[in-house]
């Protein structure tokens, strides 16, 4: 199945997205741990009626926080020390689409695969490849996880301002859905750290071997 979305770099459902190493069974266990249920999927769709038309304003509010905090803004800075405006603009379009996906997309194999893709785009494997950018190659996980609080609080505010009748249930569903998103994205980081640890350990072992090897050819 191929995505028809015209947003550059948005590849949800496309054949180019590799399968997630996380199984659907593992995803269901994670959903259960967050309290996610089939009812939450319904409430998210109801919330989407309010949030999707305001998605750009929601993303703008998040980006204003990012812009005010140097530790967050650093992920969007180019080699010249200035914000990469082309990169920021490209990401914004996908971020706006993400709001819609959180509300509407079922947690099936396509969704699971794309969470892995998003995770890779926060890591050296694909961080700058999609937009041909030269920003830092890693978005620190501690900030990604911490920013979840801003995301949830902001969206709750938009729901409250709209007068959405079931905002309590919608916020609860949104919280569970976002935790599922973030945990799946974070899975890529765990794999990266494990690979990096093996690489560092291997390099250290090789270095010790070279030091202990007898000198020859002198």
Average pLDDT across each block of 10 residues of the chain; the chain has 218 residues. List them in order.
Answer: 72 94 92 89 90 96 97 97 96 96 95 93 92 94 91 88 70 82 72 49 47 47
CATH number at residue 113: 1.10.490.10
- 17 domain-assigned: no
Which residues are CB-contacts of 103 (< 8 A; sequence separation ≥ 6)?
A: 44, 45, 47, 48, 51, 52
Residue 111 lies in a domain: yes
Residue 108, domain member (yes or no): yes
Query: What is the number of domains present in the chain?
Result: 1
Domain-located, residue 77: yes
Q: What pLDDT is recorded for position 172?
A: 82
Q: Where are the alpha helices (DSSP H) in the chain?
A: 24-34, 38-51, 55-68, 70-73, 85-104, 109-120, 141-162, 167-212
Residue 201: per-residue pLDDT = 39
Provide the residue range defining the domain that includes 200.
Answer: 36-212
Global confidence as pTM: 0.81
């Amino acid at each position: 199945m191929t995505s028809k979305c015209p947003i550059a770099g948005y590849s949800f459902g496309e054949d180019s997205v590799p399968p997630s190493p996380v199984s659907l069974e593992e995803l269901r266990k994670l959903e259960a741990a967050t309290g996610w249920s089939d009812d939450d999927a319904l409430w998210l769709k109801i919330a989407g009626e309010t949030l999707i038309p305001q998605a750009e304003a929601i993303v703008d509010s998040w980006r204003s926080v990012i812009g005010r905090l140097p530790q967050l803004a650093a992920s969007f800075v180019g080699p010249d020390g200035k914000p990469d405006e082309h990169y920021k603009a490209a990401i914004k379009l996908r971020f706006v689409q993400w709001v819609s996906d959180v509300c509407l997309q079922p947690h099936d194999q396509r969704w699971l695969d794309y969470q892995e893709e998003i995770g890779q785009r926060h890591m050296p494997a694909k961080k700058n490849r999609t937009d041909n950018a030269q920003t830092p190659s890693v978005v620190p996980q501690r900030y990604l996880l911490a920013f979840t609080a801003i995301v949830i609080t902001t969206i709750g505010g938009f729901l409250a301002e709209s007068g959405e009748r079931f905002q309590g249930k919608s916020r609860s569903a949104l919280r569970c859905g976002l935790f599922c998103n973030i945990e799946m994205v974070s899975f890529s980081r765990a794999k990266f750290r494990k690979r990096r640890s093996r690489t560092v350990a291997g390099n250290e072992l090789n270095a010790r071997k070279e030091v202990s090897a007898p000198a020859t050819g002198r």
